[in-house]
Structure 1
Amino acid sequence: MVTLYHHPFCPHSRFVRLILGEMGIEPRLIEERPWERRREFLMMAAEGATPVLVEDHPPVLPGAEVIAEYLDETRGLGLGDRRLVPDDPAGRAEARRLTIWFNVKFFNESSQWLVREKITKRFMSPDQGGGAPDMQAVRAARSNLRYHLRYIGHLIAGRNWLAGDRLTYADLAAAAHLSCIDYLGDVEWQENETARIWYARVKSRPSFRPLLVERLPGTAPSATYANLDF
């Protein structure tokens, strides 16, 4: 049994959930609110961040990159041509580069701020940093998002998927971050038609279905969030 400690609108948690879905693994999901600093959770993951994956045997695996690498090493070869990491060294390097691009650069410049300001802070106490959204941070994150959409469009203009000929971790990472922002209605899809078509392809995969039915209490999703033909 695979157990995943996650938050429904944590982009890194969504990345791991998409990987598990593509591998045909249905995890036991435990929702974690990292800002609450729950002692039992901190005993598993000292950094106090989601996601954390636990199997029936050690080790406990904290962090999206660690989990992704572990899942590929333990299950990747069994997937054959559906493996989410390319077979050749250059392809693997490109997939890793782009996965880091979205999980680190995109997160630091856009998705982290939109999720924190518009979702997470609603559930945090003032002592935890909660309160009204910082609209200056929101505007900056939206501006940065347009740049990342253009980059996705640039990549897809010359490739079938972000890192090459087949779906990889790079596509799942980018789509995971975009899905959180799309729920909030902050993705201006008209900015780049190529990026929109790519995202529609990823969003139409069966692994995405569990994400599209999730709802944030008190906030309805955007009109495009669960629409496969947006």
Structure 2
Amino acid sequence: MNILYHVPLSPFCRKVRLSLAEKKIEVQLVEERYWELDADFLRRNPAGKVPVLKMDGKIFSESSAICEYLEEIHPTPSLLPEDAETRFEVRRLVSWFDDKFHDEVTANLLYERVNRKIHGSGYPVSANVKAGSKAIKFHLDYLAWLLDNRRWLAGDVMSLADFAAAAHFSSLDYICDVDWNRSAAVKDWYATLKSRPAFRSILADNVPGFPQPNHYSNLDF
């Protein structure tokens, strides 16, 4: 049995979960309290980060590397376009969300509101929360601009770029930090994605101490 060591609200774990589910690769989800630096976990990934995928007796880490590996060994359905220019755009947008969006939004909202409590590291820093709330508006507007010019984020077909973005937004939606009324195009894009079978396990997540909001798993918002 394939095993994915993960944290439910981690966008990096969710990106891998979406890729696995889209490709219909069965996997057992095992929650990993990575911040406790358990010796067994550190043997699986000395970097001390999730996700970690155990597949065919081998260990794989780093979410983007895992997703590209899955693309190579299970190319159908494809999440990376064939032409080099669009493939570049997918990778650019994956980096945008996993780096820029993560640093400006996810770290300031999700990590402050949720991770601090779970890790026992104190209360949210209000300045960080304010910065994240301001930054997400810019990113929502950027998505709206992309979707005004494209069917999906990177082009005419759904790709890993859409999963990377949806992984972050779904985590933030769980704590009600996304203003879906800011852009009808972005709201429609997310509604289409969360209606896919690959999203089912993510919409079923429940985090102790943080009850799932009523709208979160509602496919019609």
Q: TM-score per shorter chain, which class?
A: over 0.9
Work out the CA distance in 1 between the residues paired with 2:139 and 2:33: 28
Work out the CA distance in 1 between the residues paired with 2:161 and 2:220: 22
Q: Quote the residue 1:161 is aligned against.
A: 152
Could you tell which deviates more after superposition, 9-18 or 107-116? 107-116
Whether 2:191 is the aligned partner of 1:188: answer no
Per the TM alignment, residue 56 of structure 1 is displaced from its structure 2 partner at its CA by 2.1
Work out the CA distance in 2 between the residues paired with 1:114 and 1:2: 32
Q: Which amino acid aligns with 1:207?
A: A
Partner-residue secondary structure (3-state), 1:228: coil
Q: Quote the residue 2:104 is aligned against.
A: 109
Superimposed CA distance per residue, residues 37-62 of structure 1 (whole angstroms, 9 cap, x where no aligned partner) = 1111111111111101111233x211
Per the TM alignment, residue 139 of structure 1 is displaced from its structure 2 partner at its CA by 1.2
- Pairs within 5 Å for 1:17-166: 17-58=17-58, 60-76=59-75, 79=76, 82-125=77-120, 130-166=121-157
Per the TM alignment, residue 221 of structure 1 is displaced from its structure 2 partner at its CA by 2.5
Tell me if structure 2 keeps the 8 A contact 1:204–1:228: yes
The percent of aligned pairs where both chains have the same amino acid is 41
Whether 2:158 is the aligned partner of 1:177: answer no
Superimposed CA distance per residue, residues 154-203 of structure 1 (whole angstroms, 9 cap, x where no aligned partner) = 11111111111111000000000000100100101111111111111111
- TM-score, with length taken from structure 2: 0.96
5+ residue gaps, structure 2: none
- Pairs within 5 Å for 1:209-224: 209-224=200-215
Partner-residue secondary structure (3-state), 2:5: strand
Alpha-carbon RMSD across the aligned residues, in angstroms, is 1.1
Work out the CA distance in 2 between the residues paired with 1:219 and 1:57: 34
Per the TM alignment, residue 9 of structure 1 is displaced from its structure 2 partner at its CA by 0.8
Partner-residue secondary structure (3-state), 1:95: helix
Work out the CA distance in 1 between the residues paired with 2:107 and 2:8: 14
Superimposed CA distance per residue, residues 67-103 of structure 1 (whole angstroms, 9 cap, x where no aligned partner) = 0111011111xx1xx3100011111111111111111
Partner-residue secondary structure (3-state), 2:217: coil
5+ residue gaps, structure 1: none
Q: Aligned pair count? A: 221
Q: Quote the residue 1:225 is aligned against.
A: 216
Tell me if structure 2 keeps the 8 A contact 1:185–1:221: no
Work out the CA distance in 2 between the residues paired with 1:67 and 1:26: 15
Superimposed CA distance per residue, residues 88-130 of structure 1 (whole angstroms, 9 cap, x where no aligned partner) = 11111111111111111111111122221111111223xxxx1
Tell me if structure 2 keeps the 8 A contact 1:111–1:181: yes
Per the TM alignment, residue 220 of structure 1 is displaced from its structure 2 partner at its CA by 2.2
Work out the CA distance in 2 between the residues paired with 1:20 and 1:191: 31
Partner-residue secondary structure (3-state), 2:74: helix
Work out the CA distance in 2 between the residues paired with 1:224 and 1:190: 14
